[in-house]
Amino acid sequence: MSMANIMPAAVSYPLPLELINKFIGSRIRIIMSNDMEFVGILLGLDKSMNMVLEDVIEYENTVGDKRKNKLEKIILKGYNILMISLDGEALEN
């Protein structure tokens, strides 16, 4: 029996930047390390995962309160991003 028969086929997964590049032009939700949340349209990103969003809603979570601010455009530092999800519009309602 050869090793080819024993070893499973290698599975290829997209790299994070390749996957997030597919989100450009889409509404996304981003959770930051300081508990801030942003929902907006992704305009672009760089290799450090710094992101530019437009038509943004910023959510500031404080004890017993969730403040909401509208922003035209922002740049988010990739180092502080904890989570990114697609379809942020559904989360606003």
One-letter amino acid at 36 equals M
Q: What is the pLDDT of residue 93?
A: 47
Q: Tell whether the model's pLDDT for residue 68 goes beyond 80.
A: yes
Say which CATH topology domain 14-92 has: SH3 type barrels. (2.30.30)
Which residues pair with residue 50 across a beta bridge? none
How is residue 2 annotated by DSSP? Answer: -
Q: Which residue has the tokens 């599975």?
A: 11
In order of 7, 8, 32, the CA distances from 2 in angstroms are 9, 12, 49
Which of 90, 81, 65 shows the shortest CA–CA distance to 17? 81
Q: Tell whether the model's pLDDT for residue 22 goes beyond 50.
A: yes
Comparing 12-16, 46-50, 62-66, 84-88, the range with the smallest average pLDDT is 12-16
CA 91, CA 93: separation in Å to the nearest integer?
A: 6
Which of 71, 67, 83 shows the shortest CA–CA distance to 32? 83
How is residue 51 annotated by DSSP? Answer: E
